[in-house]
Amino acid sequence: MTAKTVVMVAERSSASKLFHQVVKQPIQRAALVVLFVMVTVALIADMLASSQPLLLCFHHHWYVLPNLIHPSELRIYDNDLLMKHLGVDDWAVLPLVPWGYNGHDLTHVLSAPDAVHWLGTDSSGRDVLARLLHGSRVSLIVGVLSVTVLVTIGTTLGTLAGYFGGVLDVLLMRILEIVHSIPTILLLVTLLSVLAPEGYSAVIAMTVVIGLVWWTYVARLIRGEILRVKELDFVHAARAQGASTWRVIFGHVLPNASSPVLVSATFALASAILVEGALSFLGFGIPDDMASWGGLLNEVRSNIEAWWLAVFPGAAIFVTVTAFNLVGEGLRDALDPRTR
């Protein structure tokens, strides 16, 4: 029992040490705050921007959070219409941004930022701020899920190839070379146009496609680490003690080879968000009826004077990507003894 406690304490202290090393610099602290805000916004996007009120008393009937529940009798109303139909005793609590990400305000088409639409509207009268807030979901989901996919595939194949070597290793290295020879963006665009996904399946398709194309970087990295670690003394010692192959891999080799993976996963997250933006910008990514940052930027191509469609979504992508990259830097500096 004592041994276990000691291990747990040691683990917690090394994790918190890592955290403290990462947040040592003010800029990294700022990056973490940005990411925290980003995740919060993504989680509560419906509470911040919605076409329906948070709380509503309508014709003596109470609605709690109609923005989440979407009661069928309110379907024909958006906030604007609802306000006009409110009776004497009726009242409503509107969200901060009283526009849904897919609500068309046809009286304000392609309007510059003003008091009604704080960040302007796009060419079909949709509120840019609402779409920005909801777009954070797509970016974060695609980023996190695709990194999960690519780290899983990359770690599995890289470990197998690095540890067992032989034919497996040769095969993996060949595959890596093949995938590296194909321009990633072309492969991604081709795959997405072949799959032609719609709705939420587009997010899944994007995730899987990015993961399937990018696992090679992690595989190469972990293979190299495994090659280095597997010849170290403590691994030989574990083997000499009679530990099974799997125990050696999972208990000894992988934990000691995993820190560069953590670093590269953070950078991969940034790149995945970037590439999601690029694909949506090119018109191959998230369909138009969902909000995505790249999709917003895409609209500038047909309305080149609408600066608000360029500035805000691009800035959102830039800030998120920079924040992830900064955290990645911090992790690398904390984990890599050479840069200390």
Q: Report the interface residues with other proteins, using CB under 8 A.
A: 27, 174-175, 177-187, 189-191, 193-195, 270, 274, 277-278, 281-282, 284, 294, 297, 300-301, 304-307, 310-311, 314-315, 317-318, 321-322, 325-326, 329
**Residue showing tokens 């191509």:** 301
Q: How far is the CB of 192 from other proteins (least distance, A)?
A: 9
Nearer to other proteins, 183 or 242 (CB): 183
Q: How far is the CB of 173 from other proteins (least distance, A)?
A: 10
Nearer to other proteins, 191 or 335 (CB): 191
Nearer to other proteins, 82 or 132 (CB): 132
Please give the Cα distance from 267 to 327 (Å, whole number).
9
Please give the Cα distance from 299 to 311 (Å, whole number).
12
Beta-ladder partners of 55: 64, 93
Q: How far is the CB of 6 from other proteins (least distance, A)?
A: 37
Q: How far is the CB of 270 from other proteins (least distance, A)?
A: 7
Q: How far is the CB of 82 from other proteins (least distance, A)?
A: 35
Nearer to other proteins, 53 or 328 (CB): 328
Angle between helices 259-282 and 307-335 (to 10 degrees): 170
The answer to whether 58 and 71 have CB atoms below 8 angstroms apart is: no
Q: How far is the CB of 328 from other proteins (least distance, A)?
A: 10
Task: Give φ, ψ of 121 to 5 degrees.
Answer: -130, 165
Q: Which sign, positive or negative, has the C-alpha torsion 290, 291, 294, 299?
A: positive
Please give the Cα distance from 258 to 266 (Å, whole number).
13
Nearer to other proteins, 310 or 335 (CB): 310
Nearer to other proteins, 148 or 184 (CB): 184
Nearer to other proteins, 187 or 238 (CB): 187
Q: How far is the CB of 175 from other proteins (least distance, A)?
A: 7
Q: DSSP H helical segments within the chain, as ranges?
A: 2-22, 26-43, 45-48, 66-69, 79-85, 128-164, 166-181, 184-195, 200-229, 233-240, 245-247, 254-257, 259-282, 293-298, 307-335
The answer to whether 117 and 108 have CB atoms below 8 angstroms apart is: yes
Question: Tokens for 178?
Answer: 């093949």
AA identity, residue 339: T
